[in-house]
């Protein structure tokens, strides 16, 4: 029976202990660990319980589950992580924010596609210097068609780029909220300065300071919620990138095993590289938007 690496899919020999493609150890069958003496004793005690005791125990367990699910902590927006650390609960991103994020991603993706097409155009234009271009009518025609097609695509991308730019909010909401936070910080400093100079009475000072502090706290909470949601998306994109890398390794393994030709390997490998580039653009776009 054929064996394959569970990490990259590379074909393995029976005697292989490590994968020659990704270098990870070959997983062997793991025996199920036997129960300890304490676990056996617990099972024995459980089996010895009367039907009535078992029903009562299950009833209490059900009540505990119901109480824990029906009584969430409404006051706290955070949950406990490892060693009692506070972990912020992820909130779904508002539709308007997602829409703007997608527009920014599409905009930068178009810029990448333009760069790819410009490089392709340069490669094709080199073929114009080929002696056949002046003497071979079919060759001349095919080159001109390719050049015209790529120039048309670049022109269409530029048009799409302009349309997206008109729909994009600038600055992005995270930057707008940060600007508002900076404004509240300035107001807090200014009101304190005015109070020290006796330009503001104490009652007005106290009320304005509390107002600015509350507004600043609300803005910071809103900003943090957005960033948490965006970072979750970044995390998912990074996982997608790892999966593509795994497929790329599998393609390399198939090529090493001579299952596919040089041309098929190069074409597939180039496809993977473009996919990775596009994901990198998305990740960078979102990382820039969180700043």
Token pair recorded at residue 96: 């308007």
Q: What is the pLDDT of residues 225-250, one digit of tens each?
A: 999 988 988 999 999 999 999 999 99
Lowest average pLDDT, out of 22-36, 42-56, 92-106, 246-260, goes to 42-56
Number of domains in the chain: 1
In this prediction, residues 188-197 reach a mean pLDDT of 93
Mean of pLDDT values over 257-280? 90
- pTM for the model stands at 0.56
Within a domain: 88: no
With respect to residue 179, please indicate whether it lies within any of the assigned structural domains: yes
Q: pLDDT tens digit string along 6-36?
A: 666 666 777 666 665 565 666 554 344 444 4
Q: Lowest-confidence range among 102-111, 128-137, 218-227, 265-274?
A: 128-137
Q: Is the pLDDT of residue 75 over 50?
A: no
Distance from C-alpha of 185 to C-alpha of 198, rounded to nearest angstrom: 20
If one counts every other C-beta atom within 10 angstroms of the C-beta of residue 144, the result is 13
Instruction: Tell me which residue range forms the domain holding 232.
Output: 95-289
Q: Are 230 and 289 in contact (CB under 8 A)?
A: yes
In a domain, 102, yes or no: yes
**Average confidence score pLDDT of the chain:** 78
* Residue 135 domain flag: yes
CA dihedral sign, ordered 146, 147, 150, 155: negative
Judge whether 140 lies within some domain.
Answer: yes
pLDDT band at 56 (very low <50, low <70, confident <90, very high): very low
Tokens of 31: 């025996």
Mean pLDDT over 58-71 rounds to: 41
Say if 43 falls within a structural domain: no
The pLDDT assigned to 94 comes to 84
Which pLDDT value is given to residue 73? 44
Rounded CA-CA distance 171/270 in Å is: 35
- Which residue stretches of 49-168 are H helix? 51-70, 95-127, 132-135, 137-167
Answer with the residue of higher pLDDT: 90 or 54.
90
Is residue 256 in some structural domain?
yes
Strand partners, 11: 4
Q: What is the pLDDT of residue 24?
A: 63
- Domain-located, residue 6: no
């Amino acid at each position: 029976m054929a064996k394959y690496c569970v990490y990259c899919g590379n074909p393995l020999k029976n005697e292989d202990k490590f994968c020659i493609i990704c270098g990870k150890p070959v997983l062997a069958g793991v025996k199920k660990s036997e129960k300890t003496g304490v676990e056996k004793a617990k099972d024995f005690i459980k089996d010895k319980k009367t039907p009535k005791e078992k029903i009562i125990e299950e009833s209490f367990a059900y009540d505990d589950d119901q109480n824990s699910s029906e009584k969430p902590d409404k006051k706290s927006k955070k949950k406990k992580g490892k060693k009692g650390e506070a972990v912020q609960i992820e909130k779904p991103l508002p539709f308007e924010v997602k829409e703007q994020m997608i527009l920014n991603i599409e905009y930068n993706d178009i810029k990448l596609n333009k760069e790819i097409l410009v490089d392709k155009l340069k490669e094709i234009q080199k073929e114009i210097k080929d002696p056949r271009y002046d003497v071979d009518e079919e060759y001349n025609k095919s080159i001109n068609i390719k050049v015209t097609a790529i120039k048309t695509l670049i022109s269409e991308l530029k048009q799409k780029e302009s349309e997206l730019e008109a729909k994009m909010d600038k600055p992005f909401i995270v930057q707008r909220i940060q600007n508002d936070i900076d404004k509240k910080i300035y107001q807090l400093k200014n009101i304190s300065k005015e109070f020290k100079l006796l330009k503001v009475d104490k009652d007005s000072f106290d009320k304005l300071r509390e107002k600015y502090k509350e507004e600043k706290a609300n803005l910071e909470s809103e900003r943090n919620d957005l960033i948490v949601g965006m970072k979750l998306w970044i995390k998912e994109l990074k996982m997608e990138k790892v999966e593509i890398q795994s497929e790329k390794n599998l393609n390399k393994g198939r090529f090493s095993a001579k299952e596919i030709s040089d041309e098929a390997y190069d074409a597939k490998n180039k496809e993977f590289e473009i996919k990775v580039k596009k994901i990198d653009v998305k990740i960078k776009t979102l990382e820039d938007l969180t700043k």
